[in-house]
Amino acid sequence: MTTTDKTVTIIGAGMAGLSAALDLHRAGWQVTVLEARDRVGGRVHTVRTFSNGLIAEGGGEYIDKNHTRMLAFAKEFGLSLGEVGSWQGQTGDWGAYEGKAGPSNDIAVWGFDLGSEYDKMWAALAELAKQMPDPAHPESAPNAGELDKRSAADWINAQTAHPLARRAFADHIRSEYTCEPENFSMLDLARNAAMYYSSANILNPTYRIVGGNDQIPRAIASLLPDVRMNAAVMSINIQPQKVIVAYKQGDMVHTINSDFAILAIPLTTARLIDFNGSLPQAHQSMVNEISYGAVTKVMIEYRKRFWHDTGWNGRLSTDQAIVQTWDATSHLEGERGILTAYTGGEPGVKLSALSDEERTKTAVAVIEKIFPGSSDLIENTATVAWMNEPFTRCSYMALAPGEVTAHWKTLSAPAGRLFFAGEHATIYQGFMEGAVESGQRAAKNIMESV
């Protein structure tokens, strides 16, 4: 049987599902993509409700220098890159703690060199990285079991840096992994440290797509012949020779039989699907148990980038309700600009419980308190609470203590004819690059299986 006779159903039109679909389609397979939303992109969601053509990323934002797959898509579709600087740290970063605010190295603000104390945390993280020989196989690390029993909070509390520096690093956990330090495995912290923080001074450039990251999924979808929108999958039945997928579109329920299927949605949403008892126990446990973080974004457009007048770059770490901010338009010239308040962990859960209006008021109030008069410059606002998105219900995977050793191998292993893809099924956890890598790998594995 030729590949033109082979069929694949892909569930989810985010970066993972679309990347898999494109590779399979180009190889001659018959591919159907089912997307529950009325748009493609999943957690890649560019917000276009601001003035003067300004946009901000409501979802996936950063493309690193070594994210070769995302960079290849940008090149293929003729999209320009805007350099942002490192998401790990930049000159001009501020902190706001205990009623004080200013650059971390400003002794006049803090009474000591907070920056130097914070650097101790990064140096210790680089040491932790040495316990992870292979980030692709954290379960095989020499002391994997012991590390996985402990949390990032345990690691933070064991450090000798100033208490305020330790508190600031807890905010880093909330921002990068969108969960509380107590709920993040020390083994996965070590894995990420080996990938990104093996040296305390690694500050690689980062990019956004000029005009919006969502141009990539939209361009991929335009090349595919069968992408069905508003198609929410209700059940999946994995059989020895086929996969049966039932989905609802409007008031109608439809069924597709295909040779293979790829599940390219967050496992939080997969929990709503009836697998008819066809998932192996390890996969069912993975779907049921994997932990995810919570995050909100509040994007505030100002008529003037007031932060430039203060020597601040827009990046703020704080013990206030919003946790972190950055300049969403830092890669662009112009008078107007957008600050994004990015709130993960328990603060993100709390903001998710608020209305959009109250969430926005909270973010505006925090910034106004630190920079009086800034709220007078506000032109437009927008907000996204990913926990509240019915087809996402989370930020991205954040493995809790015990979950790495329990589920890491299963995350990327097929369940018969059903393959898994998404940022959770890759070493590039939480990144668009990871979603693409997982989708392309799933497609490759399917093509090699026939």
- 89 near 114, Cβ under 8 Å? no
Q: How many CB atoms lie within 10 A of CB 136?
A: 13
Q: Are 403 and 185 a contacting pair, CB within 8 Å? A: yes
Give the model's pLDDT for residue 199: 77
313, 91 contact by CB (below 8 A): yes
Is the torsion defined by CA of 341, 347, 352, 358 positive or negative? negative
Domains of the chain, start order: 3-43+214-290+404-448 (3.50.50.60), 46-88+205-213+293-388 (3.90.660.10), 94-196 (1.10.405.10)
Among 35, 36, 33, residue whose Cα is nearest residue 24: 33
| pLDDT in 10s for each residue of the chain, 450 residues | 455 689 999 999 999 999 999 999 999 999 999 999 999 999 999 999 999 999 999 999 999 999 999 999 999 999 999 999 887 778 889 999 999 999 988 999 999 999 999 999 999 999 999 999 999 999 999 999 999 999 999 999 999 999 999 999 999 999 999 999 999 999 999 999 999 988 766 667 899 999 999 999 999 999 999 999 999 999 999 999 999 999 999 999 999 999 999 999 999 999 999 999 999 999 999 999 999 999 999 999 999 999 999 889 999 999 999 999 999 999 999 999 999 999 999 999 999 999 999 999 999 999 999 999 999 999 999 999 999 999 999 999 999 999 999 999 999 999 999 999 999 999 999 999 999 999 999 999 999 999
Which residues 6+ apart lie within 8 Å of 172 measured at CB?
317
Beta strands in 192-278 (DSSP E): 206-209, 227-228, 232-238, 243-249, 252-258, 260-263
CA distance linking residue 296 with residue 342, whole number of Å: 6
pLDDT of residue 201: 62
Give Cα separations from 5 to 25, 203, 239, 363 (angstroms).
12, 48, 18, 54
Nearest-10 crossing angle of helices 345-352, 356-370: 130
Q: What is the rounded distance in angstroms from the CA atom of residue 62 to the CA atom of residue 60?
A: 7
Length of the chain counted residue by residue? 450
Cα separation, 50 vs 134, in Å, equals 43
Half-sphere exposure of 301 (CA within 13 A, CB side): 20
pLDDT of residue 1: 42
